[in-house]
Chains A and B, each alone.
Chain A
Amino acid sequence: MLTVDQLRIEMGDFSLTGDLKIAPGARVAVLGPSGAGKSTLLAAIAGFQPLNAGRILWNDTAMPNDPAARPISMVFQDNNLFPHLTVAQNVGLGLRPNLRLSTDDHAYVAQALTRVGLEGMGDRKPAQLSGGQIARVALARVLLRDRPVLLLDEPFGALGPALKSEMLELVRTLLDETGATLLMVSHDPQDARVLCDQVVLVADGQALAPVATEEMFANPPEVMREYLGG
């Protein structure tokens, strides 16, 4: 259970409050107008955003300060790969941050790459990959990190529609295997319908408790209607 307990974040004019619980294994879309604080909410959960008040709990225990020690894998909007490291090294960081990989580790890396459809591409540098392939490498690393919570901060925003649905499908199969809890920021409500069973709406400085996706789209609250338009 992921708990956002009495959270408050203030940065100049911006403020965000939230008090919500996410059930284990839930797949949650974080929706809302731009600038409302969707990414800030994820950054707070991941440990990148200092809190003015409140706590983030995992199974009723406060999360450690160090982002790496949290039970979380995160994929960012961009800069998910280090350009100077090979694909295999980028994935290997998920196992050993110091990159001292054993023979077994190399085998795991190769397996993970195969799993995301990048078999034999371990020696390439990120500059030689397409946008979709870069996202796949990031997901391969998520597989090896093997953390119970996956945070996706709009990592597929720059991909075309066909490629994006391909990636969402890949995320779905990976989640089916690992049973991880997903929080995904998206500006496209359709993504929520494809992949997520719940929606957390972030609007007017508030992160609302999760609502079932069908319910959210069948009876959208006022802010959601405004956001969806029409």
Chain B
Amino acid sequence: MAVRRLEINKCTVPGLLALGVVLALTLGTLAAVALRAEPGQGLLPRDWAAIRFTLWQAALSAGLSILFAIPVARALARRSFPGRSVLITLLGAPFILPVIVAILGLIAVFGRTGLISQVLGLFGIEPISVYGYHGVILAHVFFNLPLATRLILQGWLAIPSERFRLAASLGMAPSDIARTLERPMLREVVPGAFLVIFLICLTSFAVALALGGGPKATTVELAIYEAFRFDFDLIRASLLALVQFGLGAALALIALRVAMPSDMGAGLDRAVTRWDDRPALLVQDIVAITLATLFLLLPLGMVVLDGLPRLLHLPQVVFGAALRSVIVALISALLTLALSLPIAALAVRHNSRVVEALGYLTIAASPLVIGTGLFIITFPFVKPSDLALPITAVVNAALSLPFTLRALVPALAAVERDYGKLADGLGMTGWTRLRHLWLPRLRRPMGFALGLAAALSMGDLGVITLFADGDNATLPLQLFRLMAAYRMEDAAAAALLLLSLSLLLFWIFDKGGRVNADR
């Protein structure tokens, strides 16, 4: 595009700078890790166990999430009922839900003194435990069942309604419709959904930290943390970090060959009219929706119930941690935007999938690998705990990038498609274009992106665990420490505080993007 060359230069430099930061954080830290890792020593048997556990728990979590999601998505696809759209919105919520809060809720329901154990106790049955590999899988299903449901629901609603009318006019029974319409759709959607969830479970750290551990339930991420924190064995931590990156990269390569579903699509608010209804199907759908709703809402309800009484009597140290977390979250959100806007501009202007793909690099990167790398790079010069909060802000910003780019790139492409020529013709370039075209037109996706990044950072319990000492914990870390000290009442109150702050941050930014936005 010879004609646009003049324009390109102005957004190329910031875009390349932002990409440079992303590459330094991902591949740069990886290089630091690789230089440190000495293959001679090799991995311990328990490290191999961690690799095996990481893979099978991710596979099982993804499989179970999808297995349970299919009936729920089918029910949501073919039933209209009051509260349906609220439920679908709720299905998007676990994404910004702090992991440690959900874990506390799951303990309150499935733990030794939890709801279910108490009910079992009435019948004289032994209480169940949530710690161990089944707890890790339970938590992963809790987080990913909603995502899987949304992805599969999208597939269901993407089947043109004419096909269902055609099926009805041909007198097809539910089994015929399943064979001709629904199973082909699932065959397309499920592999991508499985891979996305597998990847999420592969890099999840906080769940394993809180519920896992020991020889049977240690993931690679947790093994990095333990090698680092307990053994201070940087060489083994580095080797494990290389393994973790290799797993993520291998999966990303597979993912490139599979059509990836997107959760950004609109239009989940209508149900498909069907003519093949049977009473048995209605019962089945009611059961699926009720169970899913209980599974998702009970733990959160328990957090609220348990947390409320002590919310105002929390120790001072918790409020200090909350303040630190909010500041880190705000800085992290702004950093995310400062990184993603130039990258989006570069991707849109050059119409480059490669630029976009590089921006997504951090989805396969692990916070613990980045953290290990940053530790190796910085600790000869600075006391690591001094850098805990800045590094948390930066790493969280990088980790939010795939999601903010998902929101910003299509929006910016639409703005440029609609108004790019007009702006070019009028000579609106550089700063003027940013200020008078991009920022006002991108308010909604930017608000969403800022809210998402702030909430994700607010709830993050990852890299901070490597760097923090006693005085500079964030709220999630403080909450984890309360849990580890079995101060469950304070923990519940802190969890409620964390939950409220995360949702509030998301709500404020997202709302801010919508108010007075000219369509």
1/0 contact string of A74-95 vs chain B (CB within 8 Å):
1010011011110000000110
Contact in complex: B2, A65 (CB < 8 Å) = yes
319-356 of chain B: CB within 8 A of chain A: none
Contacting residue for B436 out of A48, A67, A68, A82, CB 8 A: A82
Q: Does B426 contact A (CB under 8 A)?
A: yes
Residue of B nearest to A80 (CB): B422
Contact partners of B419 in chain A: CB under 8 A: 79, 82
1/0 contact string of B430-454 vs chain A (CB within 8 Å):
0110011100110000000000000
Contact partners of A32 in chain B: CB under 8 A: none
A47, A68, A69, A82, most chain B CB atoms within 10 A: A82
8-65 of chain A: CB within 8 A of chain B: 43, 46-50, 65
Q: Does B5 contact A (CB under 8 A)?
A: yes
Contact in complex: B426, A125 (CB < 8 Å) = no
Contact in complex: B3, A84 (CB < 8 Å) = no
Contact in complex: B432, A97 (CB < 8 Å) = yes
Contact in complex: B425, A50 (CB < 8 Å) = no
Q: Does A103 contact B (CB under 8 A)?
A: no
Residue of B nearest to A141 (CB): B426
Report how far A109 CA is from B6 CA in the complex, Å: 29
Q: Does A72 contact B (CB under 8 A)?
A: yes
Residue of A nearest to B431 (CB): A98
Contact in complex: B424, A93 (CB < 8 Å) = no
Contacting residue for B6 out of A43, A65, A84, A127, CB 8 A: A65
Contact in complex: B426, A66 (CB < 8 Å) = no
Chain A residues within 8 Å of chain B by Cβ, number: 29
Q: Does B421 contact A (CB under 8 A)?
A: yes
500-518 of chain B: CB within 8 A of chain A: 517-518
Contact partners of B424 in chain A: CB under 8 A: 47-48, 66-68
For the complex formed, measure the closest distance between the CB of A75 and the CB atoms of chain B, giving whole angstroms. 9
Q: Does B1 contact A (CB under 8 A)?
A: yes
Contacting residue for B3 out of A65, A79, A83, CB 8 A: A65
Residue of A nearest to B1 (CB): A50
Contacting residue for A99 out of B6, B425, B429, B436, CB 8 A: B436
Contact partners of B418 in chain A: CB under 8 A: 79
Contact in complex: B519, A127 (CB < 8 Å) = yes
For the complex formed, measure the closest distance between the CB of A213 and the CB atoms of chain B, giving whole angstroms. 27
Report how far A49 CA is from B465 CA in the complex, Å: 54
Contact in complex: B432, A125 (CB < 8 Å) = no
Report how far A127 CA is from B516 CA in the complex, Å: 13
Contact in complex: B427, A68 (CB < 8 Å) = yes
Residue of B nearest to A100 (CB): B432
Contact in complex: B1, A82 (CB < 8 Å) = no
Contacting residue for B518 out of A48, A69, A79, A84, CB 8 A: A84
- Known contacts A48-B3, A65-B3, A99-B432: does B437 contact A82 (CB below 8 Å)? yes
Q: Does B428 contact A (CB under 8 A)?
A: yes
Residue of A nearest to B417 (CB): A79
Contact in complex: B436, A85 (CB < 8 Å) = yes
Residue of B nearest to A127 (CB): B518
For the complex formed, measure the closest distance between the CB of B421 and the CB atoms of chain A, giving whole angstroms. 5
Contact partners of A98 in chain B: CB under 8 A: 428, 431-432, 435-436
Contact partners of A93 in chain B: CB under 8 A: 426, 428, 436
Report how far A46 CA is from B418 CA in the complex, Å: 16
Contact in complex: B425, A72 (CB < 8 Å) = yes
Contacting residue for A69 out of B421, B422, B427, B428, CB 8 A: B427
Contact partners of A65 in chain B: CB under 8 A: 2-3, 5-6
For the complex formed, measure the closest distance between the CB of A148 and the CB atoms of chain B, giving whole angstroms. 15
Contacting residue for B425 out of A49, A68, A83, A125, CB 8 A: A68
Contact in complex: A97, B426 (CB < 8 Å) = yes
Report how far A43 CA is from B517 CA in the complex, Å: 31
Contact partners of A125 in chain B: CB under 8 A: 518
Report how far A45 CA is from B127 CA in the complex, Å: 79
Report how far A43 CA is from B440 CA in the complex, Å: 26
Report how far A125 CA is from B7 CA in the complex, Å: 28
Contact in complex: B441, A66 (CB < 8 Å) = no
Contact partners of A84 in chain B: CB under 8 A: 440-441, 517-518
462-476 of chain B: CB within 8 A of chain A: none
Contact partners of A69 in chain B: CB under 8 A: 427
Report how far A97 CA is from B518 CA in the complex, Å: 20
Report how far A72 CA is from B427 CA in the complex, Å: 12
1/0 contact string of A197-227 vs chain B (CB within 8 Å):
0000000000000000000000000000000
Residue of B nearest to A47 (CB): B3
Report how far A183 CA is from B66 CA in the complex, Å: 59
Contact partners of B518 in chain A: CB under 8 A: 83-84, 125, 127
For the complex formed, measure the closest distance between the CB of A126 and the CB atoms of chain B, giving whole angstroms. 8
Contact partners of B7 in chain A: CB under 8 A: 66
Contact partners of A50 in chain B: CB under 8 A: 1-3
Query: Which A residues form the contact surface with B (CB < 8 A)?
Result: 43, 46-50, 65-69, 72-74, 76, 79-80, 82-85, 93-94, 97-99, 125, 127, 145
What are 8 A-B contacts with C-beta separation under 8 Å?
A50-B2, A67-B424, A68-B426, A76-B422, A83-B519, A97-B432, A98-B428, A145-B426
The 6 closest A-B pairs by CB, nearest first: A68-B427, A84-B440, A98-B432, A97-B427, A84-B518, A83-B518
